[in-house]
Structure formats: C-alpha cells, structure tokens
Amino acid sequence: MHHELSIAERVKIFIEQNFKPEEFGNIEKIVIGIGKLVVADKNQIEEAFNVIKKESDFPDLEIKFITDELLFECKDCGKKFSSQGYEIHCPYCGGDLRVLSCDEVYIKEVVFK
C-alpha cells in the first residue's frame, strides 16, 4: 500500500507543479501510464488518490490507468519491438531478449474538459 500511496502523491504533485489553481477545474482526468512489470495495485492507487484529492483543490479530478506494452530489445540483432505478452526469444532471429521499459509509472496524458 505504501508504494501505491506514493504514486498517488506523485500524481498530486505533478498536477500542482504543472497547472495553476485556476486551471484545476478545466482538467477532466489524468491518464497514467503503468509499465507492465510495475508491482502496484491500480485500484489501491485510485483509492489513495481519491482520499488525497478530497483534501486538494481538485476534488473532482479523475485518474485513469493504461498498462503499457512491454518493450523488448534483442541482445543479438538489436531489433526492438513491443508486445503484450512475455516473449522469450526474438521473433526475427531467435536470440535472447532484454526488457527495455516496463517498470515506470508516469503521466501519459492530461485530458481537459
């Protein structure tokens, strides 16, 4: 839960740092990208954020989550590709893969009314 709470806190800080108080009412929702390998419960982040926003200047703001595809890079041929699944071998040459980006939580999009 601690991890989820800190993510929710970061969303609040992002809003406060990037928008003026008079703009808060124009924001409909914040879309949050979550890497597929992030170990965090989206429902718990949302619950934490719902508690935080009640005390903030944007009590009606919604957050939405999009789980990113995994991005792989082949160790042998260097090709990059994304996939929803957990690939083991490169589809081009059969080589070993490493996962490039998958453990991040970031602000993907701000949707205005």
The answer to whether the beta carbons of residues 111 and 27 sit under 8 Å apart is yes
- Mask of contacts with Zn ion, 76-105, x by CB under 5 A? xx------------x-xx-x----------
Q: In angstroms, give the least distance from the CB of 76 to Zn ion.
A: 5
CA 32 – CA 105 distance, rounded (Å): 7
The candidate with the shortest Cα–Cα distance to 19, out of 58, 45, 51, 63, is: 58
Q: In angstroms, give the least distance from the CB of 92 to Zn ion.
A: 5
Instruction: Assess 74 for contact with Zn ion (CB under 5 A).
Output: yes
3-state secondary structure of 5: helix
- Amino acid at site 52: I
Q: In angstroms, give the least distance from the CB of 84 to Zn ion.
A: 19
Residue 99, phi then psi, degrees to nearest 5: -90, 130
Nearer to Zn ion (CB atom), residue 29 or residue 79:
79
Q: Contact positions toward Zn ion, by CB under 5 A?
A: 74, 76-77, 90, 92-93, 95
